[in-house]
Structure 1
């Protein structure tokens, strides 16, 4: 797979392009499987793009750290919604940059939506993020699947073997369908 560089993503968002909008099924699954803990919770949205998921998590009651490496995506996200007061926008490359800006106290929820196929070292990234989960927390991966993706676009998807590999290092694993996307709920790394 050819990995896209930061400059290409920055141009993508600067040109007004986006990604697949957060669907109703994804919203329902997030609300069902990852409700905000009593007393509030903190979420991390990795690869947040223009912030649709981050804003949704904020509307549920999470305090959200929204991370993307394309500053143009974050510029767009900052302008979109009053719930943004519950969102802290962070420009960083989750694979390469120092995670010093991430919450030291950890997260109740970490979501990686439409980004995992682009990582060069998925195992390392997911393991590192798993170490940032608070007790009882969940890491959610939302991704296209190879079997539901046209052949010319399969580089943006995971096949069943890759999904099994991701899930294999977690004690608890659930898989749901979200309108053609695999919705993975991982707990206890």
Structure 2
């Protein structure tokens, strides 16, 4: 597990940096496997500057996009001011009160490139699973250690971690993806 302090994330986004762009494969899988139902709601945890959030909105979801870095959200709001159906929320999914999240739940919860940075994974995943509507899906998109250069493996999951993640969500009946 890799821990990066909030201040470091704030500086990262203030310096104009971002994260890996959303790939065509990710877009295709999301469109194919998680089409937005009428009135569909999505939650993106760790939205950064909002590229995936905007894509989810284009699929027809109303999206709650959360990040704990205010600098990331400021950029997202500025860069995507014209995108309808998005609520940008500053929220630390591990520490803050989840009251600002939609009380009727979500059809889709996405954690893209966030999971390795979560300290209390079980509690966070359980809490997110509780917010899924019936037939809802939780999608984890993250690097896999076997396909990640040695110097970056701290942000990747190994096969044991992937198995644990899959078992956890089989129990609550949700869909879990790990993008390889």
Question: Do these two structures clear the TM 0.5 threshold for a shared fold by scoring above it?
Answer: yes
- Would the aligned equivalents of 2:139 and 2:175 in 1 still touch at CA under 8 Å? no
Q: Tell me the alpha carbon deviations over residues 163-189 of structure 1, each in whole angstroms, 9 at most, x when there is no partner.
A: 11011022357676xxxxx339xxxxx
Q: Tell me the alpha carbon deviations over residues 46-81 of structure 1, each in whole angstroms, 9 at most, x when there is no partner.
A: 000000000000011100000000001001111123
Q: Indicate the residue corresponding to 1:187 in structure 2.
A: none
Per the alignment, do residues 42 and 83 of structure 1 end up closer, same or farther by CA in structure 2, a change over 3 Å counting? farther
Q: Tell me the alpha carbon deviations over residues 20-40 of structure 1, each in whole angstroms, 9 at most, x when there is no partner.
A: 000100000000110011x22
Q: The residue matched to 1:134 in structure 2 has which SS? A: strand
Q: Indicate the residue corresponding to 1:26 in structure 2.
A: 26
Q: The residue matched to 2:123 in structure 1 has which SS? A: helix
Q: Indicate the residue corresponding to 1:67 in structure 2.
A: 66
Compute the TM-score of the two structures, normalised by the length of structure 2. Answer: 0.94
Number of residue pairs the alignment of both structures matches: 178
Q: How does 1:119-134 map to 2 (within 5 A)?
A: 119-134=118-133
- Which stretch shifts more, 167-176 or 86-95? 167-176
Structure 1 runs not aligned, ≥5 long: 177-181, 185-189
Q: Indicate the residue corresponding to 1:43 in structure 2.
A: 42
Q: Give the whole-Å Cα distance in 1 for the aligned partners of 2:62 and 2:142.
A: 23
Per the alignment, do residues 169 and 2 of structure 1 end up closer, same or farther by CA in structure 2, a change over 3 Å counting? closer
Considering fraction of residues, name the structure with more strand.
1
Q: Indicate the residue corresponding to 1:157 in structure 2.
A: 156
Q: Give the whole-Å Cα distance in 1 for the aligned partners of 2:29 and 2:56.
A: 12
CA RMSD of aligned residues (A): 1.6
Q: The residue matched to 1:112 in structure 2 has which SS? A: strand
Q: Indicate the residue corresponding to 1:179 in structure 2.
A: none
Point out 4+ residue stretches in structure 1 off by more than 3 angstroms.
Answer: 172-176
Structure 2 runs not aligned, ≥5 long: none
Of 175, 178, 183 in structure 1, the residue corresponding to residue 179 of structure 2 is: 183
Q: Tell me the alpha carbon deviations over residues 75-128 of structure 1, each in whole angstroms, 9 at most, x when there is no partner.
A: 111112355321100001100111010000000000000000001111111111
Q: Give the whole-Å Cα distance in 1 for the aligned partners of 2:62 and 2:132.
A: 14
